Structure formats: C-alpha cells, structure tokens
C-alpha cells in the first residue's frame, strides 16, 4: 500500500517544467553562413531571368553579389564557429547549381562556347552521380575539395563574370580576361575531373585490396 507521504513529492523532487527546445534539425538553417548560402541559391532564378531578358548590368551585379555571399559564408563560418555538416554539403551544391545553370543559360544566349559548357556541365553531373553511387554502395560521404577543384571553381566564376562584363564594355582587357578565364576553365575542368577520378579509384580500391590481402 502506497502512503500519502510516498505519493507526494517535495518541490525539489518534482520535475522542473520543460520548455520547448528548438528543433536541432532546423537550427542549421538559422546560422548566418547557411542563410547566405541559401540566399545564393534563391538568387539563381533572378540571375537567369536577367540574362534571358538581356539585362546584363543587372545580371552582372547579381552575380557579383552571389560571389560575395560565397566568400562571406565560409569566412563567417570560421570566425563565428558555425560550421555544420549541412553547410559543408550545401555550399558546394549551391556553387555547382548556380554555375552550371549560368553556363547553360549563357550557351543558350550564344555567349558561352559549347565546348566549355559541355565540359563544365559534364564534370559536375559526373561528380554528383559518382558521389551518389558511392554513398549508396559503401556509405562514403567525405570528399574534401582538392586544390584543383577550388581553382576550377574560381576559373568558372571568373569566366562567367568576364562574359557578362564583356556585354557591358568592349574594352581590350575585358576581352583578354574572358579568353584567359575560358582557357583556364577548360584546362582546370579536365585536370580536376581526372584528379577526382584518381582519388575515387584509390579510395574505392583500397578496401578491396585490404580485404583480399586478409584472406
């Protein structure tokens, strides 16, 4: 039989009132770096519309603003110590989505060479497909960007900026910058793609070789 004394609890023993805690799954969206990355993704449709309608000054300004968000999100993540796994995946996806879309739109407008666009789009699609297959097959998710990949992204950004700027001015230095940026994009796209294939072959071949050696 339970006594009244046992059934009652002192205020100290009573559980404190619980408050609604923020959903940890949504907290990643509240960090400033991830918000900047999401803003960059949201700018893509407006940037595409500006190019299709021939508003090249507006499209150039929007592209510069998108580039600033790309530079700021990484800096803020380090300074504010707000790095997250979600942000590490979202940032490169945002870059690939924006740049690949712009290359296709500029190709449609006749402003981007076919060869450059095919190489850039093919490389990005190939990397995404291989990453998805590796994650589905062996659960491998960690592929840190190489120096070649970072250089290739910088070259692609420079190429798009130079092409848009060339629609605003026919200055000689702009034409030269456009040619250099496009040539660098072609070279670095091929180099970074081959390097990525080499890294994937090493990482996927190492476990198999280790397993065969232990038999």
Domain housing 145: 30-205
Q: Give domain status of residue 85, yes or no.
A: yes
| Structure token digits, residue 92 | 């490169």
Q: Give domain status of residue 94, yes or no.
A: yes
Q: Give domain status of residue 137, yes or no.
A: yes
CATH of the domain at 54: 1.20.120.1760
The verdict on pTM exceeding 0.95 is no
Per-residue model confidence (pLDDT) at position 31: 72
Q: Give domain status of residue 109, yes or no.
A: yes
Per-residue model confidence (pLDDT) at position 70: 78
Q: Give domain status of residue 45, yes or no.
A: yes
Q: Give domain status of residue 5, yes or no.
A: no
pLDDT in tens, 26-80: 455 457 777 888 888 889 999 999 999 999 999 999 999 998 887 777 677 677 6
User: What residue ranges of the chain have pLDDT lower than 50?
Assistant: 1-22, 25-26, 29, 208-215
Per-residue model confidence (pLDDT) at position 117: 94
Per-residue model confidence (pLDDT) at position 112: 95
Per-residue model confidence (pLDDT) at position 17: 44
Q: Give domain status of residue 54, yes or no.
A: yes
- Looking at the 3D structure of the chain, how many domains does it have? 1
Q: Give domain status of residue 190, yes or no.
A: yes
């Amino acid at each position: 039989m339970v006594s009244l004394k046992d059934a009652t609890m002192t205020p100290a023993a009573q559980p404190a009132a619980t408050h609604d805690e923020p959903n940890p799954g949504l907290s990643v969206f509240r960090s400033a770096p991830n918000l900047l990355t999401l803003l960059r993704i949201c700018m893509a449709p407006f940037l595409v519309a500006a190019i299709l309608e021939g508003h090249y000054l507006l499209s150039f300004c929007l592209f510069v603003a998108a580039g600033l968000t790309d530079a700021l999100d990484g800096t803020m993540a380090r300074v504010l110590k707000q790095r997250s796994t979600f942000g590490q995946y979202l940032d490169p996806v945002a870059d690939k989505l924006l740049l690949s879309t712009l290359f296709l739109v500029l190709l449609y407008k006749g402003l981007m060479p076919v060869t450059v666009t095919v190489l850039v789009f093919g490389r990005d699609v190939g990397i995404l497909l291989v990453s998805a297959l590796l994650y589905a097959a062996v659960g491998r998710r960690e592929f840190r960007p190489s120096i070649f990949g970072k250089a290739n992204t910088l070259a692609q950004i420079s190429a798009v900026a130079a092409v848009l700027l060339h629609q605003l001015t026919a200055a000689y230095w702009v034409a030269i910058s456009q040619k250099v940026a496009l040539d660098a994009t072609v070279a670095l796209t091929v180099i970074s793609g081959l390097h990525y294939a080499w890294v994937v072959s090493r990482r996927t071949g190492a476990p198999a070789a280790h397993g065969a050696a232990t038999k």
